[in-house]
Each structure stands twice: as structure tokens, then as C-alpha cells.
Amino acid sequence: MDNMTHFTTYSLMEPHNAKSDRYIYFTCFLFLYAMILFLNIWLSVVIVLEKALHEPMYIFLCNLCVNDVYGTAAFYPKFLYDLILNSYVIPSYLCAFQAFVFYSYVLCEYSTLAVMAYDRHVAICQPLDYHSKMNKFSCSILLGLCWVIPFLIMFIAVFLSNRLVPCRNHIDKLFCDNWSIVKLSCESTVINNIYGFIFISLYFGLVIVIIMSYIKLIIVCKASLECRRKFWQTCVPHVISLINLTVAILFDNIYNRYGSSDLPVHFRMFLALEIIVVPPLFNPVIYGIKLSEVRKRVLKVCINCTKDDKD
């Protein structure tokens, strides 16, 4: 049993046909990561530079983009490095850090979407009180909670998983997550399961609250054409992002439970990677297309940059 304490590295799953296709994988994932960085950073920069976008809704959107950059940074650099070296191993401390970043990214994404739902609820249902309720101080508090609560939750979760003694060192996934680390242990994981059930239940309750708030907005907006226009213009992107993220979480859970069975390899890879590919790539696209004010300001910054280059 003493040998179980000597694992300082974990082996990760190799992509399908990694030896022959690794340069194709590298090119595709490098392009994908570059697109994610460009879209999210560009949208964040536009929101920061344009004073007209210094409103709570756009500040929360900027936070969503920053979180997408933060979450993907835990996977893509390491995965690209593994493809170049054709060596799919990770130190145990880096595995724990990757799990922390991955889950805190997901929880921060849900927290930000909840804050955005609250912002739209106040804007549509209580327009006269909007600026008093969504002032700079309250927005700062909400943004702080979006980061602090996920960080605290995941610090405890990773601490509990890393106190377990592993008896295996292979993770059947392209990256580390907390559940994969827990599954390596041959000790009792009851405490981890209870803690995981508690915080998953809390965030599931948060999703229910978000959905109920949008249902209430739909009911309220039935009587007013202007209200319906405002809902479809500003709330629909939030709903799409929520569905997008929830489907990604569902795929990730399906992979964690059934990914090691006889599912096709490419489908297993899709289930494992969907959560760090689709939400961070499509969030800035969804908001950039749907929110007319964001669209205008992005075009304005692009035109100004083009003029500067010509001068």
C-alpha cells in the first residue's frame, strides 16, 4: 500500500490516432484556441474602451469573456504541449490546479449568467429603480461574488480530493477534472460525494432560479410590445448561453459516467471537450451578433483601427 503514495504524475488519454495525426490535431486546436482568445479578448477590449458600453449588462458580459479566457487557459496550452512532445503525462500538482481552474470556470460561468439574469430582471420589471439598484458598488459586489464563491467552493473540493491516496494514475480524459482525480482513489470517497452533491445541488438550484426569472420576464413582457422587443434583444443571448453551458455540462457528466465504455473514440473526445470548446467560442459570437449596441461599437473600433493603419 505504501507504493500508492508515490504517484507524482498522472497519465492522460491520448487522442485517437495521436501518433500519426498529432500535427493535424495541433493545427486545429491551435487555430481554435487562437479564435477563442481573439474573440473574447477583442470583445472585452471593445467594452473597456467604449464608454457607451460601461453599463452593468456589458460589464457582466466582459466578465463572461474574461472567464472564458481563464477557463480555456487551463487546457489548451498543456494539450498543445502534449501534442508536440507526444507525451500525455501531467504532474499531480498541475493536475490538481487544472481541475481547480476547470470547475471554478464552470461555476463562475453560471454565477455570471445568474447575475446577468438579475440585471435584466431589474431593468425590465423595475426600470425606475434600475440605476439605484445596479450602481457601481452593487455591480462590484456581484462581480466579486462571481469569482470568490466558485474559488472557495473549488478550493475545498480540490483539497478533499487531494487528501485521498490514489491507487491508479491513469485519467481516461484529455485533461484533469476533480471527479477524475477522485475516481483514482481506492479509499472511501463518501465525504467527496456528499460535498459534491451539496454544491451541485446549490448550482442546480441557481439554474432553476435563472430559468424561473426568464419565465417571469416572458409573462411580464406579454402585455407590452416595447418590453418584448427589449427581452428578445437583450435576454435571448443569456438564455442561449445558459442552454449552451448546461448542455456542455450534461455532455461532460455523460462522459464521466459512460466515457470509458464502448462508445466510439471520436464521440468520447467530443463529450470530453465540448465544455471547453463550444461555450467560450460561441459566447462572444452570440452576444456580438445579437446585441446591437455591441455590434455597433465593435464595428466602430474596427473602422478606427483601419483608419489608424492607413494614416
Distance CA 70, CA 106 (A): 10
At residue 2 the predicted structure's pLDDT band, cuts being 50, 70 and 90, is very low
Pairing mode, strands 170-171 and 89-91: unpaired
**Per-residue pLDDT for 298 more than 80?**
no
Range of the domain at 266: 2-310
**Per-residue pLDDT for 99 more than 80?**
yes
Q: Please say whether the beta carbons of 12 and 175 come within 8 A.
A: yes
Instruction: Measure CA 213 to chain center.
Output: 21
pLDDT for 3? 45
Q: What CATH number does residue 262 fall under?
A: 1.20.1070.10
Closest-CA residue to 196 (of 106, 109, 117): 106
Per residue, the 3-state secondary structure of 197-259, as one string, reads: HHHHHHHHHHHHHHHHHHHHHHHHHCCCHHHHHHHHHHCHHHHHHHHHHHHHHHHHHHHHHHC
Phi, psi of 302 (to 5 degrees): -60, -45
Looking at the structure of the chain, the number of domains it has is 1
Classify residue 12 by its DSSP letter: E
Closest-CA residue to 39 (of 301, 284, 238, 290): 284
Across residues 72-78, what is the average pLDDT?
93
